[in-house]
Structures are given as C-alpha cells and as structure tokens.
Amino acid sequence: MLRFIGFRLLQALPVLLVVITVTFFLIRVAPGGPFDSEKAVIPEVQAALEAQYRLNLTLFQQYTAYLGDLFHGDFGPSFKYPGRSVNELIAAGFPVTAELAFYALLVALTIGGIAGIVASLKPNSAQDYIPMSVAMIGICMPSLLLGPILILLFGIYLDWLPVSGWGDSPGDKILPAITLGSAYAAYIARLSRAGMLEVMSQDYIRTARAKGLPEWQVVSRHALRGGMIPVVAFLVLAFAGLLSGSFVVETIFQIPGLGRFYVQAAFNRDYTMILGSTIFLATLIVFFNLLSDILAAWMNPRLRDQMRAL
C-alpha cells in the first residue's frame, strides 16, 4: 500500500518537473516584458529591477535559480506588483477559491447524488426523467450564463441575495456556489445514475433479493458501495477541477480568489504570477489525481489486494 503510494508519488515528480520547465520557457517566449508599457525608466532603476527579477542572468541560470527557489517553496516576486510576492497573492487567493470550491462541491454532491440515485431506482419512469432532464439543463446551461441569470433573478428582480463579493454580506456565497456547482451536480447525477443502474443489474443484487432482504437494504448495503465508486473517484477530480476552473464564477461575482487573480495576471502579463499559480495548481491537481486513484482502489477489495501486493 505504502509502496503503491510512494511509487505513484515518484511518478508524479517528473510530471511536475515537465510542467515547471514547459511553463517557465513558454513564459520566456511570450512577447513583451513587464516594463514595456511604462515610460522610459532611469537606467539604474532598470538595472536594479532586472537584477531583482534575475533578467540579467542567462536563461538557463534563471531556470536553475527558479527551480532552487521552488524547492524552498518560493515563487518569487510579482512582476506587476513589485512589492508583493507571488506567495502572498496565492496565500490571499487560494483560501477563497478553496472555500468556494468546497461549497460548490457540497451543492453538486447533494443535488446530483440524490437526483441520480432517485432516478436509478425507477428507470424510464417520471422519477427518472424529471431529475435527469434537470441534469441536462445543468449541463447545457454554462455558468457564464447561469451566473448572470441568477444575479438578474435573485439579486436584482427579487433582491433576495447579494450579487457580488465574498464574505462581505450575509448570503453572498450562495449564488456563486450554486453557479459553480450546477454543472458538476449534473455530471454527478448522470454518473451516479449510470453507476447505480450498472450495479443494480448485477447478479449479486439478485442474490441479495433472493435472501429476502428488504429493498432499502439491498440498495444501501449491496448497491451503493459499488455504484458510488465512480462518483467518489470523480468527486476528488471534481474538486481539483473546481479549484482550477472557477475563473468565470469568480469574475462574474467579483470574488477575490485565485482564479480572478490568474485572469488578471493573464491580462497584465504578470509572468511570475502566471508561472507561480500554474505550477501551484498543477501540483494540486496531480496530487488530487493520485488521491482519486488511491480512493477508488481502496474501495474495491480486489484492487486493494493488488495494491498490497505491489
């Protein structure tokens, strides 16, 4: 088991190194520097700035120095805001994004999971069609449309909830969480329905019924476990996806999270910020992928044995 995890962690290291390297050099290729737009600067200041950003070194020296910094957990200073480090920006933005992602996942799991299971218990009936049609709307109504519509409806016409901000006024977390979670709710609904239908058609469900167990026990003891494995594996991946996919929602609701910072950095060509957050998020996602694999294997006794044997 530990060897399995260790093995996978070892595999993850080169992946991260590739990400860092590719991102680093891509950024260097990008046209324009951070100070291009500003007025002519005094040569001494320019030199000092270049030294601060190590632009006076060769590309390879910059790269190795950056790797050294990364090893110490230092993403370097921001290009755009010379006074602040990328670490500070990530530290400010990430908790907000993580909280948003968590609420969104909660929304997605509650609505999606229940809808999917309910639908799977009576396939091809109204109990199936209605939640699944709603799920289809969730898939086809992207957050960039759902967000503004929810704002229009609940924020402006009905005036029930605040339309922007994060933690500034009560209830301002509700609309972003729903907007971000809706597409995932829909996926979870479809995934859990498919998973449950698959399991419910297995022979061992018939065995459980032949034992005389009541239907709720057949579902809860025998079907849920197998049927929910894909959902659990997906949840972990979804959390990673939410962390790195909340740009739109953070932009719509003006939430000071990592996603918004990233988009702003992309506009400002704040290269160190882009580089730092890309590496940060890639590391997170690689980690969550690993976690998802381990969880899925852990829930299946057969895979668990194979993992132990490794």
Partner 1 sequence: MLKVQHLSVSFVTRLGANKAVDNVTFSVESGKITAIIGESGSGKSVACCSLLGLIPSPPGLIEGGRALFDGKDLTKLNEAQLRKIRGRDIAMVFQDPMTCLNPYMTIGDQLTESLRYHQKIRRTEARRRAIELLQEVGIREPASTIDSYPHQFSGGMRQRVMIAMALINEPKLLIADEPTTALDVTIQAQILQLLADLQKRRDIGILFISHDLAVIADIADQIVVMQEGKVVETGTRSEIFHNAQHPYTQRLLAAIPTGGKEIASPESESLIQIRDLCTWFQHSNAPVKAVDGVNFDIYRGEVLGLVGESGSGKSTIGRSILRLVNVTSGQIIFDGLDVTALRPHELKKLRRRMQFIFQDPFASLNPRMTVYETLSEPLLLHRIENRSTVAASVLRLMDNVGLARGFARKYPHEFSGGQRQRIAIGRAVATRPEFIVADEPVSALDVTIQAQILELMRELGREYGLTMLFISHDLAVVRQLADRIIVLQAGKVVEQASTRDLFAQPQKAYTRQLLQSIPGRGLLKGDVAGG
Partner 2 sequence: MTNPAIGDLAQTQPGTSLWQDAWLRLRRNRLALVGLIILLLFIFIAAVTPWIAPYGYAQQDLELGAAPPSAAHWLGTDIFGRDLLTQIMFGGRISLAVGFVATAVALLIGITWGAIAGYMGGRVDAVMMRLVDIIYALPFMIFIILLMVVFGRNMLLLFLAIGAVEWLTMARIMRSQVQSLRQQEFVEAAVSLGLPTATIIRRHLIPNALGPIIVYTTLTVPSVMLLEAFLSFLGLGVQPPETSWGLLISYGAESMEEYPWLLLFPGLALTLTLFSLNFLGDGLRDALDVRGAKD
Binding-site ranges for partner 2 (CB under 8 A): 15, 18-19, 23, 26-27, 29-31, 136, 139-142, 144-145, 147-149, 151-152, 156, 194, 198, 230, 240, 244-245, 247-248, 251-252, 262-263, 266-267, 269, 274, 277-278, 281-282, 285-286, 289
Distance of CA 250 to the CA centre of its chain: 13
Token representation of residue 99: 């909280």
Nearer to partner 1, 69 or 198 (CB): 198
In the complex, least distance from residue 309 CB atom to partner 1, rounded to whole angstroms: 9
Tell me how crowded residue 229 is: count the other CB atoms within 10 A of its CB.
19
204 contact choice in partner 1, partner 2, none (CB below 5 to 8 Å, kind-dependent) = partner 1
> Scanning residues 273 to 302, which ones bind partner 1 (CB under 8 A)?
299-302
CB 177 within 8 A of CB 253: no
Give per-residue burial for 85-107: e unless 16+ CB within 10 Å, then b. Answer: bbbebbeebbebbbbbbebbbeb
Distance CA 105, CA 40 (A): 49
Site for partner 1 in 198-217 (CB under 8 A): 202-204, 206-214, 217
Helix 271-299 to helix 86-108 angle (10° resolution) is 40
The rounded distance, in Å, linking the Cα atoms of 1 and 13 is 19
What residue 211 binds from partner 1, partner 2, none (CB within 5 to 8 A, per partner kind)? partner 1
Q: Which is nearer to partner 1, 51 or 310 (CB)?
A: 310
> Which of 185, 194, 101 is closest to 141 using CA atoms?
185
Q: Give which of partner 2, partner 1, none residue 208 binds (C-beta under 5 to 8 Å, depending on kind).
A: partner 1
Task: Decide if residue 197 touches partner 1 (CB under 8 A).
Answer: no
In the complex, the residues that contact partner 1 under the rule CB under 8 A are 202-204, 206-214, 217, 221-222, 225-226, 299-302, 305
